[in-house]
Structures are given as structure tokens and as C-alpha cells.
């Protein structure tokens, strides 16, 4: 029977409090399960913002789309880091799957409330707070321990226990067309671990020297934090002085694109939020998205459980298909007005439901 992991816990904070000598194989498995949940938790809010943009070929939509593909790769790498030490990612249960609105898993970034909505300034501020480094090259900082710091602790635990790396049950998916670091590859050596953790951290946070993504799909591509802060400020980030370098959001203006006015999904979904019941067609679309999303999580979990390469690839392909099947009904929901006269629209709920 699969282990159930509670999404709403303070497990990451507890893991970070553990002494170095306590960070053994079980600590590492526990930490990597939380890392998998962290990577998964970013996808629904980023996707809602992306799908709400009316011009999907706009620079803003393309920038958010690149972040989404990076996060998909990070989810794959985090899962492979877990299976290489004998663990199995758990994604597919009502207790484990992310719930919106709500905190990030494990208690990381305390006080941050993650929500689902269309593209707005509030959403962009949220996204950048999720991705924020401990020491950004720009002057803004919320002062909390970052996701990158958590991955650094994971990397140090691997360095202390390289014998745990076995290279077992590794998902492979080649996505270099989306970016230099976006292939999901085997984690079979300490060097593979270092590279994977470096990609996850640096694509999200940049480096201590630059806001640029060191593993880009396009030259000059920024790390996720700076992508979202640029869009929030409506200005490109530029280096305004050297020795020491100073980076500020003082470059060319960036126009916010036209976006469908998806409202913020209430706790428990639209029907639990006190609104009049949606019409039958809208209700069916909400159900369809939740069913396809839930099936996607189950297929991903099954892919990492598989012992044969053929079964693994079959389950992974099924998960990718379910992901693609979310786009059309989600877009139609975003064109359906809420029955409260607010001018806002429905949108996907990303709620896990049992088969």
C-alpha cells in the first residue's frame, strides 16, 4: 500500500532543523518527497496565469511558458533524485496533492498563500516570492529561507552519502528544445546529482552574480524570480553600475498583456465558495479538468513505480497526454463568466479526485 504524505505539514522546516549527522537515507527520502511536492505545487498557478493570456505568442506568455517547462523538468529531476536512493514519489491522493488557496508544502516560505487566478500583478508578486533567492542580486528580499536553500541541504546530504545513489527507476524525457537544462535524465552518480540540483536552483533563482538563467533556452533568458519581478514591475532588469554590480528594474518598459479575468479559486473549488451553482456544461468542464489532472498524477506515480523501461515510458506518455488534455477545457472555463456579476470568470480548480 502506498504511503500517504500530508501536503499541509511543516515537514521541510522540521527537516531543515535536523542536525547534519541526522541527515541520513531516511532524511534524504523525506526531503526529496517534499521537493517533489514543491515542484508540483508551482505548476497549477503558473499554468492558470499562462492560459489566461489572450495572445499566447506574446513575449509575456512565452516567458511564462518557458518557466512552466523548466518546472516540469524540475519535477522530473526531483523524482529521479528520490528513486535513485530507493524512494518512490507520492503524488496521487487527496492528502498529498496541492490544495489551493493554501501554503507551499512543508511549511517553506511561511505566510505565503498560493492561489489560482489569471495573470495579475498579485499573481506575479506571488510567483516571484515562491522563486525568491536568499540573496537576490536586486535589492528586494522578503527575508525567508528559500527553496534553493532547501535544495542546498539536499545536495550536502548526497555529498555525505554518495553510496545511496543507485540509478534505479529513472524517468527519461528529452526536452532540450525547451532549454539547455530541461532534459530529464538519469541520476546515477554524484556528478549527476550536483548537475540536477544546480539546474533546479539556478533556473529558479539565478546566481549570486547575475539574474540570468545559466541553463537557458534562449540567450539572455532570466531565472524565474527575475522573470516574474520584471513582469511585476513592468520594467526590464538591467545592471545600473559595476564594481560592485547593481541590478535594478529600470530598463525598457514591459506591457502587461491582455488576459482573461479568471477569478481566484476559493477553497474547496467554485461550488464551495458560496457562488450559485454553475450550469451543467460548466460543471462538466470543471469535473473534466479535475479528472484529467488526477489521472496525470496517478500516471506519473505509476511511471516511477515501474520496473520496466517500457511500462515507465508508457505511463509517462499517458501523463503527458493528460496534461495536454487540460488546456482546452481550462481555456473554455476562463471564458465563462462567474454567476455573481463580478466580471470575473471560472478557471481550473486543480483538485485531486479519486478514480
Q: What 3-state class would DSSP assign to 111?
A: coil
Residue 171 lies in a domain: yes
Q: What average pLDDT score do residues 127-144 get?
A: 68
More confident residue, 137 or 284: 284
Residue 317 lies in a domain: no
Cis amide prior to 346 (ω within 30 degrees) = no
> pLDDT tens digits for 177-232?
655 567 888 999 999 999 999 999 888 776 555 787 777 667 778 889 999 999 99
Cis amide prior to 101 (ω within 30 degrees) = yes
Residue 334 lies in a domain: no
Determine the pLDDT at residue 143: 43
> pLDDT tens digits for 262-281?
999 999 999 998 888 899 99
Alpha helices, H only, 84-222: 121-131, 147-160, 190-205
Determine the pLDDT at residue 336: 97
Question: 163 lies in which domain range?
Answer: 11-262
Sequence-distant (≥ 6) Cβ neighbours of residue 101 within 8 angstroms: 113, 114, 115, 116, 264, 265, 266, 267
CATH number at residue 176: 1.20.1260.10
Write down how long the chain is.
Answer: 355
The CA distances from residue 305 to 55, 88, 94, 240, 265, in Å, are 39, 7, 19, 50, 32
Name the phi and psi angles at 139, rounded to 5: -80, -15
Alpha helices, H only, 234-347: 280-305, 309-324, 327-333
> pLDDT tens digits for 333-344?
999 999 999 999
**Model pTM score:** 0.92
Domain count, the chain: 1
Determine what percent of the chain falls in helix, strand and coil, rounding each to the nearest 5: 50, 5, 45
Residue 163 lies in a domain: yes
Q: Alpha-carbon dihedral of residues 60, 228, 209, 219, nearest 10 degrees?
A: -20
Residue 340 lies in a domain: no
Q: Alpha-carbon dihedral of residues 281, 284, 289, 291, nearest 10 degrees?
A: -170
Residue 329 lies in a domain: no
Residue 20 lies in a domain: yes
Residue 306 lies in a domain: no
> pLDDT tens digits for 8-23?
778 888 898 899 899 9
Q: What average pLDDT score do residues 89-115 get?
A: 91
- Rounded-to-integer distance, Cα 147 and Cα 224, Å: 13
Q: Alpha-carbon dihedral of residues 155, 160, 161, 162, nearest 10 degrees?
A: 70
CB 211 within 8 A of CB 245: no
Amino acid at each position: 500500500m502506498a504511503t500517504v504524505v500530508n501536503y499541509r505539514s511543516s515537514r521541510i522546516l522540521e527537516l531543515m532543523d535536523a542536525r547534519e549527522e541526522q541527515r541520513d537515507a531516511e532524511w534524504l527520502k523525506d526531503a526529496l518527497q517534499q521537493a517533489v511536492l514543491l515542484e508540483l505545487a508551482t505548476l497549477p498557478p503558473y499554468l492558470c496565469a499562462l492560459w489566461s493570456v489572450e495572445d499566447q505568442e506574446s513575449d509575456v506568455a512565452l516567458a511564462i511558458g518557458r518557466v512552466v517547462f523548466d518546472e516540469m523538468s524540475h519535477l522530473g529531476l526531483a523524482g529521479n533524485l528520490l528513486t535513485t536512493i530507493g524512494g518512490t514519489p507520492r503524488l496521487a491522493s487527496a492528502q498529498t496533492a496541492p490544495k489551493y488557496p493554501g501554503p507551499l508544502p512543508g511549511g517553506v516560505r511561511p505566510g505565503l498563500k498560493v492561489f489560482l487566478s489569471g495573470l495579475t500583478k498579485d499573481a506575479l508578486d506571488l510567483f516571484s516570492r515562491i522563486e525568491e533567492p536568499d540573496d537576490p542580486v536586486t535589492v528586494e528580499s522578503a527575508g525567508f529561507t528559500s527553496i534553493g536553500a532547501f535544495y542546498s541541504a539536499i545536495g550536502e546530504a548526497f555529498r555525505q552519502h554518495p553510496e545511496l545513489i543507485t540509478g534505479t527507476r529513472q524517468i527519461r524525457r528529452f526536452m532540450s528544445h525547451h532549454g539547455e537544462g530541461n532534459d530529464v535524465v538519469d541520476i546515477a552518480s554524484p556528478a549527476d546529482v550536483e548537475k540536477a540540483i544546480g539546474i533546479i536552483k539556478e533556473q529558479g533563482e539565478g546566481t549570486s552574480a547575475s539574474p540570468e538563467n545559466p541553463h537557458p533556452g534562449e540567450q539572455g533568458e532570466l531565472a524565474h524570480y527575475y522573470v516574474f519581478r520584471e513582469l511585476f514591475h513592468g520594467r526590464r532588469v538591467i545592471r545600473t553600475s559595476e564594481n560592485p554590480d547593481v541590478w535594478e528594474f529600470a530598463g525598457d518598459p514591459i506591457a502587461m498583456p491582455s488576459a482573461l479575468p479568471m477569478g481566484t479559486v476559493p477553497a474547496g473549488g467554485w461550488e464551495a465558495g458560496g457562488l450559485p451553482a454553475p450550469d451543467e456544461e460548466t460543471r462538466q468542464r470543471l469535473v473534466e479538468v479535475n479528472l484529467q489532472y488526477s489521472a496525470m498524477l496517478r500516471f506519473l506515480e505509476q511511471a516511477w513505480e515501474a520496473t520496466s523501461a517500457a511500462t515507465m515510458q508508457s505511463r509517462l506518455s499517458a501523463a503527458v497526454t493528460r496534461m495536454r488534455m487540460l488546456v482546452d477545457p481550462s481555456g473554455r472555463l476562463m471564458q465563462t463568466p462567474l454567476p455573481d456579476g463580478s466580471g470575473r470568470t471560472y478557471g481550473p480548480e486543480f483538485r485531486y479526485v479519486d478514480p
